Structure 1
Amino acid sequence: MRLTAGELLEHCLAKPGAWQDEPWEGDVVAKVGDKIFAFLGSGAAVGVKCGGNRDEADELVNTYPDDVWKSPYIGRSGWNTVRLGASVPDEELLELVDTSYETIVAKLPKAKRP
């Protein structure tokens, strides 16, 4: 059984301080504080922070070239888009979301961290 977009959103929102937003019509995101940690969009893929820079994020792209790609506009900062229900195992996808959340929380000012 593959992880659905709804289940992935539930996983995101179960994180301390996480909340759902729709900054662009039809594009759901998960935020902590005022920062996005997961772009859920239409539900076919998720955008997550996969490293501090492009080289780190490219490791995942190289591992799953058909199902992970550099996110438009923000990819240079280490963001990738991961196709749901494809070659990336669900467990790894959840770990990617967890790591993205932790990375974003660590960048928040201490007063805004959950």
Structure 2
Amino acid sequence: MRRDELIEYCLAKPGAEESYPWGDEELVAKVGGKAFAFIGMAGDSVGVKCGASAAEAAEYRERYPDDVRTSDYIGRYGWNTVRYEGGAVPDDEVLELLDRSYAAIVAKLPKSRRPA
């Protein structure tokens, strides 16, 4: 999967918007003002919410030890960094992780900020 495909997939979700809080180094895909994907613009990985805690997200790190790691700073909250280009994680599973991350964030939003 290529970066532009990944970005297009994220931004096609209801209510999704892009932001660049750290300049043009990283695109943050948000819904209701909350991040659901961190896409490095210089690399080949995406940060996604994979569980409620690091322990819950460990399944993916165990399954793909070379291509999934705990996200810096927010890994203890269930975020993993997943290599999407050229790695062992299949494209359909990357998309599923994006879907799950988006759904987890939307579920925690107040009803007034959820997409219609």
- TM-score, normalising length: structure 1: 0.96
The letter of the residue matching 2:40 is G
Q: Which runs of 4+ in 1 moved over 6 A?
A: none
CA distance in 2, matches of 1:32, 1:15: 9
Mapping 1:6-85, distance limit 5 Å: 6-25=4-23, 26-42=25-41, 43-85=43-85
Question: 2-side partners of 1:29 and 1:89: how far apart?
Answer: 22
Letter in 1 for 2:81: T
1:100 corresponding residue in structure 2: 101
Amino acid at match of 1:10: E
- Could you report, residue by residue, the CA deviation over 1:45-84 in whole angstroms, capped at 9, with x for unpaired residues? 0000000111110010000000000000000000000012
> Gapped runs of 5+ residues in structure 2?
none
Q: Distance in 2 between matches of 1:6 and 1:50?
A: 22
Whole-angstrom distance in 2 between the partners of 1:67 and 1:58: 12
Q: By how many angstroms is 1:28 displaced?
A: 0.6
Q: Per the alignment, in what secondary structure is the counterpart of residue 15 of structure 1?
A: coil
Counterpart amino acid of residue 103 in structure 2: E
Per-residue deviation, 1:35: 0.2
TM-score computed with the length of structure 2 as normaliser: 0.94
Q: The residue matched to 1:6 in structure 2 has which SS?
A: helix
- Structure 1: state its 5+ residue gaps: none
Output one character per residue of 1:85-106: Cα deviation in whole Å (capped at 9) or x when no partner. Answer: 2100000000000000000000
| CA-atom RMSD in angstroms | 0.7
